[in-house]
Structure 1
Amino acid sequence: MNSRKVVYLFFSTLLIGSLSGTIVGFILDYQVYIEDTFLNLIFGLIWLMGISAAFSLISQMGFFAYLTVHRFGLGLFKSQKLWNAVQIIIIVFVIFDLIYFRFLAFAEPGETIFGYFLMPLLLLAYGLIIAYIKAKDTNKGAFVPALFFIVVITTIEWVPALTVNDTKWLWLYVTPLLVANTWQLLVLHRLTRA
Protein backbone atom coordinates (compact mmCIF):
# COMPACT_ATOMS: atom_id res chain seq x y z
CA MET A 1 0.00 0.00 0.00
CA ASN A 2 1.53 3.32 -1.04
CA SER A 3 1.57 6.55 0.97
CA ARG A 4 -1.30 8.07 -1.03
CA LYS A 5 -3.58 5.22 0.04
CA VAL A 6 -2.47 5.53 3.67
CA VAL A 7 -3.26 9.26 3.59
CA TYR A 8 -6.64 8.49 1.99
CA LEU A 9 -7.41 5.92 4.70
CA PHE A 10 -6.38 8.35 7.44
CA PHE A 11 -8.40 11.36 6.26
CA SER A 12 -11.46 9.42 5.09
CA THR A 13 -11.63 7.63 8.44
CA LEU A 14 -11.21 10.91 10.29
CA LEU A 15 -13.97 12.57 8.27
CA ILE A 16 -16.44 9.69 8.47
CA GLY A 17 -15.90 9.18 12.20
CA SER A 18 -16.13 12.91 12.92
CA LEU A 19 -19.36 13.35 10.98
CA SER A 20 -21.02 10.31 12.56
CA GLY A 21 -20.17 11.46 16.08
CA THR A 22 -21.32 15.00 15.32
CA ILE A 23 -24.67 13.79 14.03
CA VAL A 24 -25.30 11.46 16.97
CA GLY A 25 -24.09 14.05 19.51
CA PHE A 26 -26.37 16.69 18.01
CA ILE A 27 -29.36 14.33 18.12
CA LEU A 28 -28.64 13.35 21.75
CA ASP A 29 -28.45 16.98 22.97
CA TYR A 30 -30.58 18.71 20.37
CA GLN A 31 -32.14 21.19 22.83
CA VAL A 32 -28.77 22.31 24.23
CA TYR A 33 -27.48 23.30 20.80
CA ILE A 34 -30.55 25.16 19.53
CA GLU A 35 -31.83 26.85 22.68
CA ASP A 36 -29.63 29.94 22.68
CA THR A 37 -28.01 31.87 19.85
CA PHE A 38 -26.85 30.75 16.43
CA LEU A 39 -23.26 30.92 17.71
CA ASN A 40 -24.18 28.36 20.37
CA LEU A 41 -25.16 25.99 17.57
CA ILE A 42 -22.00 26.67 15.55
CA PHE A 43 -19.64 26.29 18.53
CA GLY A 44 -21.54 23.20 19.68
CA LEU A 45 -21.14 21.57 16.30
CA ILE A 46 -17.44 22.50 16.19
CA TRP A 47 -16.99 20.96 19.66
CA LEU A 48 -18.83 17.78 18.61
CA MET A 49 -16.74 17.55 15.43
CA GLY A 50 -13.52 17.97 17.42
CA ILE A 51 -14.36 15.42 20.10
CA SER A 52 -15.55 12.95 17.45
CA ALA A 53 -12.33 13.51 15.48
CA ALA A 54 -10.38 12.62 18.63
CA PHE A 55 -12.36 9.39 18.97
CA SER A 56 -11.71 8.65 15.29
CA LEU A 57 -7.98 9.07 15.88
CA ILE A 58 -8.20 6.62 18.78
CA SER A 59 -9.93 4.23 16.39
CA GLN A 60 -7.09 4.56 13.89
CA MET A 61 -4.46 3.88 16.55
CA GLY A 62 -6.42 0.80 17.60
CA PHE A 63 -6.66 -0.40 14.02
CA PHE A 64 -2.95 -0.25 13.35
CA ALA A 65 -2.22 -1.72 16.78
CA TYR A 66 -4.52 -4.64 15.95
CA LEU A 67 -2.82 -5.22 12.59
CA THR A 68 0.45 -5.57 14.52
CA VAL A 69 -1.07 -7.80 17.21
CA HIS A 70 -2.70 -9.98 14.55
CA ARG A 71 0.62 -10.58 12.79
CA PHE A 72 2.26 -11.25 16.15
CA GLY A 73 -0.50 -13.73 17.06
CA LEU A 74 -0.16 -15.57 13.77
CA GLY A 75 3.60 -15.84 14.30
CA LEU A 76 3.28 -16.87 17.96
CA PHE A 77 0.65 -19.58 17.48
CA LYS A 78 2.01 -20.79 14.09
CA SER A 79 -1.52 -21.62 12.97
CA GLN A 80 -4.45 -19.47 11.95
CA LYS A 81 -6.88 -22.00 13.49
CA LEU A 82 -5.19 -21.80 16.88
CA TRP A 83 -4.92 -18.00 16.72
CA ASN A 84 -8.62 -17.82 15.76
CA ALA A 85 -9.51 -20.03 18.74
CA VAL A 86 -7.57 -17.71 21.06
CA GLN A 87 -9.38 -14.70 19.58
CA ILE A 88 -12.78 -16.36 20.10
CA ILE A 89 -11.93 -17.04 23.75
CA ILE A 90 -10.92 -13.39 24.20
CA ILE A 91 -14.18 -12.24 22.55
CA VAL A 92 -16.18 -14.36 25.00
CA PHE A 93 -14.24 -12.90 27.94
CA VAL A 94 -14.77 -9.33 26.71
CA ILE A 95 -18.52 -9.84 26.28
CA PHE A 96 -18.68 -11.39 29.76
CA ASP A 97 -16.66 -8.51 31.22
CA LEU A 98 -18.87 -5.90 29.55
CA ILE A 99 -21.87 -7.49 31.24
CA TYR A 100 -20.57 -8.61 34.62
CA PHE A 101 -18.05 -5.92 35.58
CA ARG A 102 -20.29 -3.08 34.48
CA PHE A 103 -23.06 -4.66 36.57
CA LEU A 104 -20.74 -4.83 39.59
CA ALA A 105 -19.59 -1.24 39.13
CA PHE A 106 -22.85 0.51 38.29
CA ALA A 107 -25.84 -1.58 39.40
CA GLU A 108 -28.28 0.08 41.77
CA PRO A 109 -29.60 -1.94 44.71
CA GLY A 110 -32.24 -4.34 43.46
CA GLU A 111 -31.22 -3.97 39.80
CA THR A 112 -30.76 -7.22 37.88
CA ILE A 113 -27.85 -8.11 35.63
CA PHE A 114 -30.15 -8.50 32.62
CA GLY A 115 -30.16 -4.75 31.97
CA TYR A 116 -26.43 -4.98 31.27
CA PHE A 117 -26.84 -7.59 28.53
CA LEU A 118 -28.22 -5.26 25.84
CA MET A 119 -25.15 -3.17 24.98
CA PRO A 120 -22.63 -6.08 24.74
CA LEU A 121 -25.06 -8.23 22.77
CA LEU A 122 -25.75 -5.37 20.33
CA LEU A 123 -22.00 -4.91 19.90
CA LEU A 124 -21.60 -8.65 19.30
CA ALA A 125 -24.47 -8.70 16.77
CA TYR A 126 -22.98 -5.71 14.94
CA GLY A 127 -19.57 -7.41 14.97
CA LEU A 128 -21.06 -10.60 13.50
CA ILE A 129 -22.68 -8.63 10.67
CA ILE A 130 -19.49 -6.72 9.83
CA ALA A 131 -17.36 -9.89 10.11
CA TYR A 132 -19.74 -11.66 7.71
CA ILE A 133 -19.44 -8.80 5.20
CA LYS A 134 -15.64 -8.79 5.53
CA ALA A 135 -15.43 -12.57 5.05
CA LYS A 136 -17.76 -12.39 2.06
CA ASP A 137 -15.65 -9.63 0.47
CA THR A 138 -12.32 -11.36 1.12
CA ASN A 139 -12.24 -14.94 2.42
CA LYS A 140 -13.76 -16.96 5.25
CA GLY A 141 -10.51 -16.75 7.22
CA ALA A 142 -11.18 -13.04 7.78
CA PHE A 143 -14.35 -13.67 9.83
CA VAL A 144 -12.82 -14.23 13.28
CA PRO A 145 -10.20 -11.46 13.03
CA ALA A 146 -12.89 -9.01 11.88
CA LEU A 147 -15.20 -10.03 14.73
CA PHE A 148 -12.31 -9.73 17.19
CA PHE A 149 -11.46 -6.27 15.92
CA ILE A 150 -15.02 -4.95 16.08
CA VAL A 151 -15.80 -6.43 19.53
CA VAL A 152 -12.51 -6.47 21.44
CA ILE A 153 -10.59 -3.54 20.00
CA THR A 154 -13.67 -1.30 19.98
CA THR A 155 -14.28 -2.19 23.63
CA ILE A 156 -10.69 -1.35 24.57
CA GLU A 157 -11.00 1.98 22.77
CA TRP A 158 -14.36 2.56 24.48
CA VAL A 159 -13.07 2.08 28.06
CA PRO A 160 -12.97 5.79 29.04
CA ALA A 161 -16.70 6.14 28.33
CA LEU A 162 -17.51 2.78 29.93
CA THR A 163 -16.00 3.90 33.23
CA VAL A 164 -18.20 7.02 33.31
CA ASN A 165 -21.42 5.09 32.57
CA ASP A 166 -23.27 8.09 31.17
CA THR A 167 -25.62 7.02 28.36
CA LYS A 168 -24.95 10.18 26.33
CA TRP A 169 -21.17 9.68 26.50
CA LEU A 170 -21.48 5.97 25.76
CA TRP A 171 -23.26 6.74 22.47
CA LEU A 172 -21.20 9.82 21.64
CA TYR A 173 -17.99 7.86 22.12
CA VAL A 174 -18.96 4.54 20.52
CA THR A 175 -20.50 5.98 17.34
CA PRO A 176 -17.29 7.39 15.80
CA LEU A 177 -15.37 4.36 17.07
CA LEU A 178 -17.70 1.86 15.43
CA VAL A 179 -18.09 3.85 12.23
CA ALA A 180 -14.35 4.44 11.89
CA ASN A 181 -13.47 0.84 12.80
CA THR A 182 -16.02 -0.49 10.33
CA TRP A 183 -14.79 1.80 7.55
CA GLN A 184 -11.15 0.85 8.09
CA LEU A 185 -11.94 -2.85 8.24
CA LEU A 186 -14.07 -2.87 5.11
CA VAL A 187 -11.93 -0.57 2.98
CA LEU A 188 -8.45 -1.92 3.77
CA HIS A 189 -8.61 -4.93 1.45
CA ARG A 190 -9.87 -2.70 -1.38
CA LEU A 191 -6.91 -0.36 -0.92
CA THR A 192 -4.36 -3.16 -0.77
CA ARG A 193 -5.78 -4.85 -3.88
CA ALA A 194 -5.65 -1.81 -6.14
Structure 2
Amino acid sequence: MTSRNWVRLFMSTLLVGGVTTAIVGFIIRWDEFQPYFTHFQIIDILSTLIWLIVMGFLFSVISQMGFFSYLTIHRFGLGIFKSVSLWNSVQIVLILFGLFDLVYLRYENFAKAGDSILSYIGPALLLLAVALIVAWYKVKQTNRGAFIPALFFMIVATLVEWVPVLRENEKNWFYLMMVSLLACNAYQILVLHKLNAQSVQERQKRAEHINPKMKNTNKNKKMSKKPSM
Protein backbone atom coordinates (compact mmCIF):
# COMPACT_ATOMS: atom_id res chain seq x y z
CA MET A 1 0.00 0.00 0.00
CA THR A 2 1.31 3.45 -0.87
CA SER A 3 1.73 6.07 1.83
CA ARG A 4 -1.01 8.13 0.22
CA ASN A 5 -3.54 5.32 0.48
CA TRP A 6 -2.38 4.47 4.00
CA VAL A 7 -3.12 8.05 5.08
CA ARG A 8 -6.48 7.82 3.32
CA LEU A 9 -7.27 4.61 5.22
CA PHE A 10 -6.18 6.14 8.52
CA MET A 11 -8.26 9.31 8.11
CA SER A 12 -11.36 7.56 6.76
CA THR A 13 -11.26 5.00 9.59
CA LEU A 14 -10.98 7.85 12.09
CA LEU A 15 -14.10 9.35 10.53
CA VAL A 16 -15.96 6.03 10.73
CA GLY A 17 -15.04 5.68 14.41
CA GLY A 18 -15.97 9.25 15.28
CA VAL A 19 -19.33 9.27 13.51
CA THR A 20 -20.32 5.79 14.73
CA THR A 21 -19.44 6.53 18.35
CA ALA A 22 -21.28 9.85 18.28
CA ILE A 23 -24.48 8.31 16.91
CA VAL A 24 -24.41 5.19 19.07
CA GLY A 25 -23.39 7.21 22.14
CA PHE A 26 -26.45 9.45 21.90
CA ILE A 27 -28.72 6.43 21.35
CA ILE A 28 -27.34 4.35 24.22
CA ARG A 29 -27.27 7.24 26.70
CA TRP A 30 -30.37 9.03 25.43
CA ASP A 31 -31.97 9.12 28.90
CA GLU A 32 -28.95 11.08 30.12
CA PHE A 33 -28.63 13.41 27.12
CA GLN A 34 -32.32 13.99 26.36
CA PRO A 35 -32.61 17.05 28.68
CA TYR A 36 -29.92 18.80 26.61
CA PHE A 37 -32.23 18.68 23.58
CA THR A 38 -35.41 19.32 25.53
CA HIS A 39 -34.02 22.52 27.04
CA PHE A 40 -31.98 23.50 23.94
CA GLN A 41 -28.69 23.40 25.81
CA ILE A 42 -26.55 23.91 22.72
CA ILE A 43 -23.24 24.11 24.59
CA ASP A 44 -23.90 20.84 26.41
CA ILE A 45 -24.95 19.15 23.16
CA LEU A 46 -21.81 20.31 21.34
CA SER A 47 -19.49 19.42 24.21
CA THR A 48 -21.03 15.95 24.46
CA LEU A 49 -20.80 15.51 20.68
CA ILE A 50 -17.13 16.52 20.65
CA TRP A 51 -16.39 14.21 23.57
CA LEU A 52 -18.06 11.25 21.83
CA ILE A 53 -16.22 11.96 18.57
CA VAL A 54 -12.88 12.09 20.39
CA MET A 55 -13.68 8.77 22.05
CA GLY A 56 -14.56 7.42 18.62
CA PHE A 57 -11.17 8.55 17.33
CA LEU A 58 -9.55 6.64 20.20
CA PHE A 59 -11.55 3.50 19.40
CA SER A 60 -10.56 3.92 15.76
CA VAL A 61 -6.85 4.09 16.59
CA ILE A 62 -7.18 0.93 18.71
CA SER A 63 -8.95 -0.75 15.80
CA GLN A 64 -6.24 0.27 13.34
CA MET A 65 -3.50 -1.00 15.62
CA GLY A 66 -5.30 -4.34 15.79
CA PHE A 67 -5.78 -4.39 12.03
CA PHE A 68 -2.14 -3.91 11.11
CA SER A 69 -1.11 -6.31 13.87
CA TYR A 70 -3.35 -8.96 12.35
CA LEU A 71 -1.96 -8.39 8.85
CA THR A 72 1.50 -9.10 10.29
CA ILE A 73 0.27 -12.14 12.25
CA HIS A 74 -1.52 -13.44 9.16
CA ARG A 75 1.71 -13.42 7.16
CA PHE A 76 3.61 -15.06 10.02
CA GLY A 77 0.92 -17.73 10.29
CA LEU A 78 1.13 -18.56 6.60
CA GLY A 79 4.92 -18.72 6.85
CA ILE A 80 4.98 -20.90 9.97
CA PHE A 81 2.31 -23.43 9.02
CA LYS A 82 3.30 -23.57 5.32
CA SER A 83 -0.31 -24.37 4.46
CA VAL A 84 -3.34 -22.13 4.02
CA SER A 85 -5.73 -24.89 5.13
CA LEU A 86 -3.73 -25.62 8.29
CA TRP A 87 -3.48 -21.92 9.18
CA ASN A 88 -7.23 -21.55 8.58
CA SER A 89 -7.87 -24.51 10.90
CA VAL A 90 -5.82 -22.82 13.63
CA GLN A 91 -7.81 -19.62 13.14
CA ILE A 92 -11.11 -21.50 13.41
CA VAL A 93 -10.01 -23.03 16.72
CA LEU A 94 -9.05 -19.58 18.03
CA ILE A 95 -12.40 -18.20 16.90
CA LEU A 96 -14.25 -20.88 18.87
CA PHE A 97 -12.10 -20.26 21.95
CA GLY A 98 -12.69 -16.52 21.67
CA LEU A 99 -16.46 -16.85 21.49
CA PHE A 100 -16.50 -19.40 24.32
CA ASP A 101 -14.39 -17.14 26.55
CA LEU A 102 -16.59 -14.14 25.79
CA VAL A 103 -19.56 -16.04 27.21
CA TYR A 104 -17.98 -18.19 29.92
CA LEU A 105 -15.49 -15.75 31.46
CA ARG A 106 -17.98 -12.90 31.60
CA TYR A 107 -20.58 -15.18 33.15
CA GLU A 108 -18.11 -16.50 35.74
CA ASN A 109 -16.81 -13.04 36.68
CA PHE A 110 -19.91 -10.86 36.51
CA ALA A 111 -23.03 -13.02 36.82
CA LYS A 112 -25.11 -12.50 39.94
CA ALA A 113 -27.15 -15.12 41.72
CA GLY A 114 -30.06 -16.14 39.53
CA ASP A 115 -28.65 -14.63 36.33
CA SER A 116 -29.19 -16.70 33.21
CA ILE A 117 -26.26 -17.46 30.95
CA LEU A 118 -28.50 -16.64 27.97
CA SER A 119 -28.01 -12.90 28.53
CA TYR A 120 -24.25 -13.46 28.18
CA ILE A 121 -24.65 -15.44 24.97
CA GLY A 122 -26.35 -12.51 23.22
CA PRO A 123 -23.22 -10.38 22.62
CA ALA A 124 -21.32 -13.41 21.33
CA LEU A 125 -24.10 -14.22 18.87
CA LEU A 126 -24.23 -10.58 17.76
CA LEU A 127 -20.47 -10.53 17.24
CA LEU A 128 -20.63 -13.80 15.28
CA ALA A 129 -23.51 -12.58 13.11
CA VAL A 130 -21.76 -9.34 12.17
CA ALA A 131 -18.51 -11.21 11.49
CA LEU A 132 -20.29 -13.72 9.21
CA ILE A 133 -21.94 -10.93 7.23
CA VAL A 134 -18.66 -9.06 6.79
CA ALA A 135 -16.76 -12.24 5.85
CA TRP A 136 -19.46 -13.20 3.33
CA TYR A 137 -19.32 -9.76 1.74
CA LYS A 138 -15.53 -9.91 1.67
CA VAL A 139 -15.75 -13.20 -0.23
CA LYS A 140 -18.09 -11.60 -2.78
CA GLN A 141 -15.55 -8.84 -3.34
CA THR A 142 -12.46 -11.10 -3.48
CA ASN A 143 -12.51 -14.91 -3.24
CA ARG A 144 -13.37 -17.80 -0.93
CA GLY A 145 -9.93 -17.76 0.65
CA ALA A 146 -10.78 -14.48 2.35
CA PHE A 147 -13.62 -15.93 4.45
CA ILE A 148 -11.70 -17.38 7.40
CA PRO A 149 -9.17 -14.50 7.70
CA ALA A 150 -11.99 -11.95 7.63
CA LEU A 151 -14.04 -13.95 10.15
CA PHE A 152 -11.00 -14.34 12.43
CA PHE A 153 -10.18 -10.65 12.32
CA MET A 154 -13.76 -9.57 12.98
CA ILE A 155 -14.09 -11.87 16.00
CA VAL A 156 -10.69 -12.44 17.61
CA ALA A 157 -9.15 -9.05 16.85
CA THR A 158 -12.31 -7.29 18.03
CA LEU A 159 -12.23 -9.26 21.28
CA VAL A 160 -8.59 -8.36 21.91
CA GLU A 161 -9.26 -4.67 21.19
CA TRP A 162 -12.35 -4.83 23.40
CA VAL A 163 -10.54 -6.19 26.48
CA PRO A 164 -10.33 -2.91 28.51
CA VAL A 165 -14.11 -2.57 28.54
CA LEU A 166 -14.77 -6.30 28.90
CA ARG A 167 -12.85 -6.24 32.18
CA GLU A 168 -15.08 -3.48 33.58
CA ASN A 169 -18.38 -4.82 32.16
CA GLU A 170 -20.05 -1.39 32.27
CA LYS A 171 -23.10 -1.71 30.03
CA ASN A 172 -22.96 1.62 28.18
CA TRP A 173 -19.25 1.40 27.45
CA PHE A 174 -19.60 -2.29 26.62
CA TYR A 175 -21.94 -1.71 23.67
CA LEU A 176 -20.50 1.66 22.67
CA MET A 177 -17.02 0.27 22.14
CA MET A 178 -18.34 -2.95 20.62
CA VAL A 179 -20.29 -1.18 17.87
CA SER A 180 -17.48 1.30 17.18
CA LEU A 181 -14.84 -1.42 16.89
CA LEU A 182 -17.05 -3.54 14.66
CA ALA A 183 -17.71 -0.58 12.37
CA CYS A 184 -14.02 0.34 12.11
CA ASN A 185 -12.87 -3.27 11.69
CA ALA A 186 -15.50 -4.02 9.05
CA TYR A 187 -14.61 -0.89 7.12
CA GLN A 188 -10.90 -1.67 7.11
CA ILE A 189 -11.23 -5.31 6.08
CA LEU A 190 -13.67 -4.45 3.28
CA VAL A 191 -11.67 -1.54 1.86
CA LEU A 192 -8.19 -3.08 2.10
CA HIS A 193 -8.13 -4.86 -1.27
CA LYS A 194 -9.48 -1.75 -3.02
CA LEU A 195 -6.70 0.42 -1.64
CA ASN A 196 -4.12 -2.22 -2.49
CA ALA A 197 -5.41 -2.30 -6.09
CA GLN A 198 -5.24 1.50 -6.27
CA SER A 199 -1.70 1.38 -4.93
CA VAL A 200 -0.69 -1.06 -7.67
CA GLN A 201 -2.20 1.21 -10.32
CA GLU A 202 -0.45 4.26 -8.90
CA ARG A 203 2.91 2.46 -8.96
CA GLN A 204 2.32 1.37 -12.54
CA LYS A 205 1.53 4.93 -13.59
CA ARG A 206 4.72 6.18 -11.96
CA ALA A 207 6.71 3.45 -13.69
CA GLU A 208 5.12 4.31 -17.04
CA HIS A 209 5.93 7.96 -16.51
CA ILE A 210 9.57 7.11 -15.85
CA ASN A 211 9.81 4.47 -18.60
CA PRO A 212 7.15 4.84 -21.34
CA LYS A 213 8.11 1.42 -22.77
CA MET A 214 6.50 -0.25 -19.77
CA LYS A 215 3.07 1.09 -20.69
CA ASN A 216 2.22 -1.61 -23.22
CA THR A 217 3.60 -4.31 -20.92
CA ASN A 218 1.42 -3.21 -17.99
CA LYS A 219 -1.68 -3.14 -20.17
CA ASN A 220 -1.22 -6.80 -20.97
CA LYS A 221 -0.81 -7.82 -17.35
CA LYS A 222 -3.84 -9.27 -15.58
CA MET A 223 -4.25 -10.34 -12.01
CA SER A 224 -4.25 -14.12 -11.82
CA LYS A 225 -6.61 -14.06 -8.83
CA LYS A 226 -8.23 -11.67 -6.44
CA PRO A 227 -6.52 -10.93 -3.14
CA SER A 228 -7.41 -12.98 -0.07
CA MET A 229 -7.26 -10.02 2.28
TM-score range, shorter chain: over 0.9
- 1:162 matched to 2:166? The reply is yes
Larger radius of gyration: 2
How does 1:22-41 map onto structure 2 within 5 Å?
Answer: 22-36=22-36, 37-41=41-45
Counterpart CA distance in 1 for 2:29 and 2:128 is 27
Task: Specify every segment of 5 or more residues in structure 2 that has no aligned partner in the other structure, as ranges.
Answer: 199-229
1:34 Cα shift?
4.4
Letter in 2 for 1:3: S
1:164 Cα shift?
1.4
Contact 1:34 1:40 in 2 (8 A): no
Task: Specify every segment of 5 or more residues in structure 1 that has no aligned partner in the other structure, as ranges.
Answer: none
1:179 Cα shift?
0.6
In structure 2, do the counterparts of structure 1 residues 132 and 30 end up closer, same or farther at CA, with 3 Å as the change threshold? same
What SS does the corresponding residue of 2:112 show, helix, strand or coil? coil
Contact 1:34 1:41 in 2 (8 A): no
Select the structure with the greater relative contact order (CA < 8 A; seq sep ≥ 6).
1
Counterpart CA distance in 2 for 1:33 and 1:118 is 26
Name the structure 2 match of 1:128: 132
Counterpart CA distance in 1 for 2:52 and 2:165 is 15
Counterpart CA distance in 2 for 1:50 and 1:67 is 26
**CA-based RMSD:** 1.0
Deviating more after overlay: 33-42 vs 8-17: 33-42
What SS does the corresponding residue of 2:113 show, helix, strand or coil? coil
Name the structure 2 match of 1:78: 82
- The CA deviation string for residues 53-97 of structure 1, in whole angstroms up to 9 with x for no partner, is 100100000000000000000001000000000000000000000
Q: Report the TM-score, using the length of structure 1 for normalisation.
A: 0.97
1:32 Cα shift?
2.9
